Amino acid sequence: MHSGCCWNKENINSDECRILRPGDDELLFNRKKRFLSRCLECPGFLEDLRQMNDDPNGLASLFSYAIEELLAQRAEIHALTSQAQSRNREIRFLHEVGQVLQTSVDMDEVLSMALTAVTSGKGFGLNRAVLLLVDKERQNLKGHIAVGPRSREEAGRIWHEIEEHDYSLKDMGQIFFEKKLPSEKEKFRDLLEILSVPMSRSDHLFIATLNEQKTRHIKNLYHEPGIDPWQVQNLDCGELLMVPLISKNRRIGLLLADNIINGRPITAEDVQSIETFALPVSFAIERASLYERLQEELAKVTAANTQLREQQELIVRMEKMALVGKIASNIAHTIRNPLTIIGGFARSLMKSTSQEDAKRTYIESIIRETRRLEEVLQEVLSYSESLHPTFDWWDINQLITGVFAGLRDDLLMNRVSCRFDFEPNLPKAKIDYKKMAYCLRSLATNAIEAMPDGGQIQIHSALFNDEIQITLTDTGPGMNAETIQAIATPFFSTKDSGSGLGLSLCVRILEEHDANLDIASEEGKGTTFTIRLKISREDKHDPTTDR
């Protein structure tokens, strides 16, 4: 008996064995190793073994039983080894992904890593994954994110890139999160919108799966009831895996996965692995969602605390201002009565004193200083009254005209002329007339006093966008930058006899009106004051009505 098989030779040439593989050179000179690794699978050896069954001592048949058992055990060992390697890869990949899922509180980072694990060849290796999440109001199951190619060409590019760079699973998830997440959301926007379903549709396949909290492995989606035809059409896959994401009986969302590109059947091992993976993913999504909610609530609390602190500071400031105003008002009223009497007697004496009388000069000084003190008292009283504004609708042009009419004597005495340029049909503004008049009067008085040798004041009103602008320009000596910076500070004055409250009170009044005061000045060329009074669209008023 000799079949020409080489199993019974100690040494062989490479052309004597039909089943040697590249790299098996060592087996040419090692009969035992060659027999165990190759001969048991050789058709020639098995034929020789069959012929040996006719041996009357029966050893050949027993030997064949041993060979069969050995081959069966070898196949089982190979299967177990393959399974162990697969489980080992799965454990390594779950550990790698779990590090991100357990430590990250960023929702997008968690989802990027989870779906990358489902679709990556180093993970579960499915072609496409779609995640539907229950919204905050728990009214809808909304398409949130999808990962995977939308065509074979795109799949080829993606798989080539992964193979070329040999990214780890963690690296792929991080790259997706940092660089591809927005474009991937946009790529699948239409599909995500189509797959969204109201939670009230309990008969819908997605909602039913989520409510039952059981995985569904659908072999033919086209014949599956409970899903809208246009959703089936847009998913465009026959086999679909649906895994509910549950965290302590709380419905988080639904994971859809398929092999739309290569059409590889989804195995029982795939289903079991993704079911196992869904649990930590659910917890990670729930944790990230709770963190987002916590951040939102923290922002609200922080804003509320800031507002409360501002209100408390405002209350303290108003209490201080009210106290200052009350003291100032009491002092002003106490001084005002005797001052009025002094001024009245001085004016009476003036009338009965001739121009040639030497005492007339002293009486004029008393009247002049009394008037100055009365102006200071008026500023103090105005400061006190500024704590309680009274707003109404007024015509700004009429306000300007009234203020300068009251200054006619001062203008004539100081040889200052006025030129008015009013924009007609200005909308009425909601202002405190008395305070705004005081503000204009203070600016005009400053301009008059800045021109002791006479000059001109130009007054212009205009509507610019949503602002009424009042511009007052004098031909005085102007101011330097330091003076402009300090002029609105309380008790600062460029005049020896000034109280320093005029412009400071003017700024306060404008703040109450949500208005601004701009000062532009150049030494030797005069000064321009511009009041910018904001008016919202709701506050625009018919100029033909009211005052």
Q: 68 and 124: one domain?
A: no
Cα 254 to Cα 200: distance, rounded to the nearest angstrom: 15
Among 96-105, 123-132, 304-313, the minimum mean pLDDT is found in 96-105
Is the pLDDT assigned to residue 315 strictly greater than 90?
no
Residue 230 belongs to domain spanning:
104-266
Enclosing H/E stretch for 332: helix 268-351
| 420 and 375 together in one domain | no
Tell me what pLDDT residue 63 has: 63
Confidence (pLDDT) at 376: 73
The position carrying tokens 């002791």 is 452
As a whole number, mean pLDDT of residues 217-228 equals: 92
In a domain, 280, yes or no: no
Q: Give every CB contact of residue 436 below 8 A, 6+ residues apart in sequence.
A: 394, 399, 509, 513
3-state SS string for 423-443? CCCCCEEEECHHHHHHHHHHH
* Residues 334-356: tens digit of each pLDDT: 787 788 888 888 888 888 888 88
69-73, 82-86, 125-129, 525-529, range with the lowest pLDDT:
82-86
Residue 163 has pLDDT above 70, yes or no: no
pLDDT (0 to 100) of residue 81: 81
Report the pLDDT value the prediction gives residue 423, as an integer from 0 to 100. Answer: 93
Q: Which of 197, 198, 167 is nearest to 180 (CA)?
A: 167
Please tell me whether residues 219 and 163 are part of one structural domain: yes
Q: Of all residues in the chain, what percent carry a pLDDT higher than 90?
A: 25
Whether 540 is covered by a domain: the verdict is no
End-to-end CA distance of the chain: 130
- On whether both 322 and 468 belong to a single domain, the answer is no
- What confidence score (pLDDT) does residue 89 get? 65
pLDDT at residue 162 is higher than 80: no
Same domain, 340 and 253: no
Q: Between the CA atoms of 458, 463, 466 and 467, what dihedral angle is there, to the nearest 10 degrees?
A: 10
Does residue 86 register a pLDDT over 80? no
Residue with more model confidence, 434 or 255: 255
For strands 250-258 and 240-247, give the pairing.
antiparallel
328, 383 contact by CB (below 8 A) = yes
Mean pLDDT of the chain: 82
> What is the C-alpha separation between 399 and 421, in angstroms, rounded?
14
Domain boundary among 327, 355, 388: 388
pLDDT tens column, 356-372: 888 888 888 888 888 77
What local confidence, expressed as pLDDT, does residue 537 receive? 53
Domain end marker among 86, 115, 130: 86
Distance CA(230)–CA(143), nearest Å, equals 15
Give the CATH number of the domain where residue 140 resides: 3.30.450.40
Residue 455 maps to a domain: yes
Could you tell me if residue 92 is inside a domain? no
Give the lowest-confidence range in 60-64, 486-490, 519-523: 486-490
Establish if 411 belongs to a structural domain: yes
Q: Do 181 and 64 fall within a single domain? A: no
- What per-residue confidence (pLDDT) applies to 491? 39
Q: Name the residue with higher pLDDT: 389 or 201.
A: 201
Q: Is residue 364 part of a domain?
A: yes
The C-alpha atoms of residue 19 and residue 9 are separated, in whole angstroms, by 15
- Separation CA 155–CA 262 (nearest Å): 9
Confidence band, pLDDT 50/70/90 cuts, at residue 52: low
How far from chain centre, in Å, is Cα 518?
35
Shared domain for 377 and 342, answered yes or no, is yes
Mean pLDDT of 53-80: 67
Give the number of other Cβ atoms within 10 Å of residue 129's Cβ.
Answer: 25
Average pLDDT over residues 92-96: 67
Q: Supply the pTM of this predicted model.
A: 0.49
pLDDT tens column, 470-487 = 999 999 888 887 777 756
What pLDDT, on the 0 to 100 scale, is given for residue 547?
A: 52
Q: Does 476 lie in the same domain as 426?
A: yes
Same domain, 340 and 206: no
What tokens does 177 get?
């999160």
Are residues 115 and 234 part of one domain? Answer: yes
**What DSSP line would sit under 143-154, residue for residue?**
EEEEES-SSHHH
The whole-number pLDDT of residue 136 equals: 87
Residues 57-86: what's their mean pLDDT?
A: 70
- Count of the separate structural domains present in the chain: 4
Encoding tokens for residue 515? 């208005």
SS3 at position 257: strand
Looking at per-residue pLDDT, the higher value among 495 and 73 belongs to 73
Q: What is residue 73's predicted lDDT score, i.e. its pLDDT?
A: 80
pLDDT of residue 544: 44
Pair type for strands 455-464 and 416-421: parallel
In a domain, 24, yes or no: yes
458: which strand partners? 419, 473
Residue 8: inside a domain: no
Residues 401 and 452 in one domain: yes
CB neighbours of 158 closer than 8 A, spacing ≥ 6? 149
Q: What pLDDT score does 300 carry?
A: 92
Are 461 and 470 in contact by the 8 Å Cβ rule? The answer is: yes
Amino acid identity at 284: A
- 118 in the same domain as 77: no
Residue 55 pLDDT exceeds 70: no
Res 189 pLDDT > 80: yes
- What is the arithmetic mean of pLDDT over 496-523? 75
Using CA atoms, how far apart are residues 136 and 103, in angstroms rounded to an integer? 23
Cα–Cα distance for residue pair 137/199, rounded to 1 Å: 10
Confidence band, pLDDT 50/70/90 cuts, at residue 1 = very low
Residues of the chain above pLDDT 70, percent: 84
218 pLDDT exceeds 90?
A: yes
- Which of the pair, 172 or 282, is modelled with greater confidence? 282
If you average pLDDT over residues 415-427, what whole number do you get?
92
Last residue of a domain, one of 86, 113, 135: 86
CATH number of the domain encompassing residue 460: 3.30.565.10
